[in-house]
């Protein structure tokens, strides 16, 4: 979403007036493209809001997946690899997190990873790697899971995405504890708590305390 909504709508209005009153319709395709991009941006944003509601309530809204699928389709039509990759990440997340269907999530995550890498979208890539980690961990492939989450964390540190780093450290602590390294797990949770507090990520701070309890590290 690199350009403002107002700019796109204003340009569409100008193209309309050029065509109707000025007899110059050669820019109508450009205006249509702007509006398609707006539709894609709105679908992606609305889908994310519904996912946030799911995280709070635990109840899936049936509109969430179609919104992400529509966004992915529209970005694909526009040739927007960054937007398509982000949308496909969310498609995968619906299947993995909400529907507990890793097999269906995997192709969406794989394509999202390709597109985010192609577009240089390190933030989306960090999310994809995080969720690929969850799949590897669930399958018992702990080393692969740790490698994915470590790379996701590196990307997030480089982006100064501090709440995201804190969230990832919780996952790394879980992996450390499952491997018997409780001291490392405790240190990771301590750092996660510090980063969460320093960045105002109070929800992540709550996750840290829940992880301490679950791992008996309180």
Q: Global pTM?
A: 0.90
CA 197 to chain centre: 22
For residue 13, what is the enclosing H or E element?
helix 5-20
Nearest to 153 by CA among 114, 181, 115, 192: 192
Q: How far is Cα 45 from Cα 43, in angstroms, rounded to an integer?
A: 6
Q: What is the pLDDT of residue 7?
A: 81
Residue 142 burial (10 A CB sphere; 0-12, 13-18, 19+) = middle
Q: What is the pLDDT of residue 50?
A: 98
Q: What is the pLDDT of residue 25?
A: 66
Which class is domain 121-218? mainly alpha
- Structure tokens given for 217: 């590290």
Q: What is the pLDDT of residue 30?
A: 85
Q: What is the mean pLDDT of each run of 10 residues along the chain (218 residues)?
A: 68 74 72 91 97 96 98 97 98 98 98 98 98 96 97 98 98 96 97 98 97 92
């Amino acid at each position: 979403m690199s350009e403002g909504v107002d700019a796109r709508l204003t340009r569409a209005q100008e193209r309309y007036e050029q065509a109707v009153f000025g007899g110059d319709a050669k820019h109508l395709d450009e205006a249509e493209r702007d509006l398609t991009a707006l539709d894609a941006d709105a679908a992606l944003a609305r889908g994310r809001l519904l996912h946030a509601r799911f995280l709070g309530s635990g109840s899936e809204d049936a509109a969430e997946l179609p919104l992400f699928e529509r966004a992915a389709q529209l970005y694909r039509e526009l040739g927007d690899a960054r937007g398509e990759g982000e949308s496909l990440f969310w498609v995968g997340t619906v299947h993995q997190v909400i529907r507990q269907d890793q097999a269906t999530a995997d192709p969406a995550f794989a394509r999202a990873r390709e597109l985010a890498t192609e577009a240089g979208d390190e933030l989306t890539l960090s999310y994809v790697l995080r969720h690929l980690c969850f799949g590897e961990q669930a399958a018992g492939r702990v080393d692969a899971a740790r490698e994915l989450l470590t790379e996701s964390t590196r990307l997030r540190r480089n982006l100064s995405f501090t709440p995201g780093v804190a969230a990832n450290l919780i996952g790394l602590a879980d992996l450390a504890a499952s491997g018997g390294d409780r001291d490392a797990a405790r240190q990771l949770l301590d750092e996660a708590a510090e980063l969460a507090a320093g960045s105002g990520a109070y929800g992540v701070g709550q996750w840290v305390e829940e992880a301490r309890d679950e791992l008996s590290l309180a």
